[in-house]
């Protein structure tokens, strides 16, 4: 027998569970006939303990995951936003750890929240930070391992980044706004529009997550490195910005800084 076994749809147990879930998800009153008043409280009041608890529990989860979004939106708008998200994307995971994962997509694609793209970017930034926090552990490659390589190896050398590393691009300066999330009254935090779209890298070299902005050519090369392009191709992608002659030196310098910062997970040649 498989451990999962068949779904049971027949019987009053199933009817009752479906009615209960429909009540929580959509306010359907089919459940009311199945429960009793007590001498002290009517059944509507008692059922509301579950309905209120359902929303408040998940709103709290989102507030914990998204302090920067809370600081931008303020408690009232955050509450409205969270309730909209809860209704649109009910949890399909055993752990609340993953309940909020679609918030950035939801905000970016759903009116009226899509009118505040900076808030959606903040949500994406915060979710990615959370992702780095408990991503798989890995030891970054040290500089010695690379300097020991024979020069011929560099012709085919390719890299992977740490599993925690994410490359993001923002139109707004949300990472710096995030650093100020506790400084203002909730609702007053604003992220300025950046002069140009800016790339950011988030990664966790040991136990503490880190993030920083990237120069345009650095972001281009890191994206290529993450595609496991060999080193000569990484140099080539820098040529438009620094010229053929400067490309190798720039690529070597960027690679050295990434290794020193603990971003590189492995290499092969």
Partner 1 sequence: MSSQVDFGLGLRPDHYEEIVANPGRVTWFEVLSENYMVPGGRPLQWLDTLRRDYPMAMHGVSLSIGSIDPLDRGYLDALKALTERIEPLWVSDHLCFTGLRGINMHDLLPLPYTEEALDHVAERVMRVQDHLGRRLVLENVSSYVTYAASELAEWDFIAGLAERADCEILLDVNNVYVSAFNHEFDAYAFLRAMPTKRVRQFHLAGHLHKGTHIIDTHDHPIIPDVWDLYAEAVRLFPDVPTMIERDANIPPYVDLLAELDTARDIALRVARGRAPKAAE
**Contact stretch for partner 1 (CB under 8 A) within 50-58, 73-81, 166-174, 179-187:** 50-58
Instruction: Check: CB of residue 189 under 8 Å from CB of residue 71.
Output: yes
Q: Which of 29, 53, 142, 188 is the binder for partner 1 (CB under 8 A)?
A: 53
Q: Which of 8, 147, 151, 245 is the binder for partner 1 (CB under 8 A)?
A: 8
193-212 footprint of partner 1 as x/- string (CB under 8 A): -----------x--x-----
150 part of the interface to partner 1, by CB under 8 A: no
Q: Which of 50, 87, 190, 268 is the binder for partner 1 (CB under 8 A)?
A: 50
147 part of the interface to partner 1, by CB under 8 A: no
Q: Which is nearer to partner 1, 38 or 156 (CB)?
A: 38
25 part of the interface to partner 1, by CB under 8 A: yes
Alpha carbon distance 132, 258 (integer Å): 17
Least distance CB 263 / partner 1 (angstroms): 16
Q: Which of 29, 30, 38, 149 is the binder for partner 1 (CB under 8 A)?
A: 38
Three-state secondary structure readout of 186-220: CCCCCCCEEEEEEEEEEECCCCCCEEEEECHHHHH
216 part of the interface to partner 1, by CB under 8 A: no
C-alpha to C-alpha distances, 94 to 5, 86, 98, 249, nearest whole angstrom: 18, 15, 8, 49
Token output for 207:
């136990």
- Pairing state between β 193-203 and 210-214: antiparallel
**Contact stretch for partner 1 (CB under 8 A) within 17-25, 62-70, 73-81, 185-193:** 17-25
Alpha carbon distance 85, 172 (integer Å): 23
3-class SS of residue 116: coil
76-95 footprint of partner 1 as x/- string (CB under 8 A): --------------xxxxxx
Alpha carbon distance 5, 28 (integer Å): 29
Alpha carbon distance 213, 198 (integer Å): 7
Q: Which parts of 115-134 interact with partner 1 (CB under 8 A)?
A: 132-134
Q: Which is nearer to partner 1, 147 or 208 (CB)?
A: 208
135 part of the interface to partner 1, by CB under 8 A: yes
29 part of the interface to partner 1, by CB under 8 A: no
Q: Which is nearer to partner 1, 36 or 115 (CB)?
A: 36
Alpha carbon distance 60, 78 (integer Å): 11
C-alpha to C-alpha distances, 243 to 113, 156, 157, 219, 231, nearest whole angstrom: 43, 22, 22, 17, 16
Alpha carbon distance 70, 28 (integer Å): 30
Q: Quick check: bond before 255 cis, omega within 30?
A: no
Query: What does the binding site for partner 1 look like in residue numbers (CB under 8 A)?
Result: 1-9, 11-14, 16-18, 20-21, 24-25, 33-36, 38-41, 43, 45-47, 49-50, 53-54, 57-58, 90-97, 99, 132-137, 163-164, 204, 207
């Amino acid at each position: 027998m498989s451990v999962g076994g068949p779904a049971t749809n027949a019987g009053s147990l199933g009817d009752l569970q479906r009615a209960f879930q429909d009540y929580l998800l959509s306010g359907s009153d089919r459940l009311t006939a199945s429960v009793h008043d007590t001498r002290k409280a009517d059944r509507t009041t008692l059922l509301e303990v579950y309905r209120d608890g359902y929303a408040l529990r998940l709103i709290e989860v989102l507030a914990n995951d998204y302090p920067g979004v809370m600081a931008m939106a303020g408690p009232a708008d955050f509450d409205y936003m969270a309730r909209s998200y809860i209704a649109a994307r009910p949890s399909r995971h055993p752990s609340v750890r993953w309940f909020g994962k679609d918030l950035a997509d939801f905000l970016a694609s759903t009116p009226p929240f899509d009118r505040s793209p900076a808030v959606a970017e903040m949500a994406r930034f915060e979710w990615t930070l959370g992702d780095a926090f408990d991503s798989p552990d890995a030891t970054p490659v040290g500089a010695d391992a690379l300097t020991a390589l024979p020069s011929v190896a560099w012709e085919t050398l390719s890299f992977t980044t740490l599993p925690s590393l994410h490359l993001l691009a923002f139109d707004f300066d949300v990472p710096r706004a995030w650093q100020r999330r506790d400084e203002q009254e909730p609702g007053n935090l604003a992220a300025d529009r950046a002069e140009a779209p800016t790339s950011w890298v988030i990664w966790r070299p040991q136990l503490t997550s880190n993030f920083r902005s990237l120069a345009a050519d650095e972001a281009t090369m890191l994206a290529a490195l993450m595609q496991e392009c060999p080193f000569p191709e990484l140099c080539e992608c820098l040529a438009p910005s620094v010229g053929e002659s400067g490309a190798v030196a720039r690529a070597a310098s960027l690679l050295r800084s990434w290794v020193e910062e603990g971003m590189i997970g492995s290499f092969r040649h």
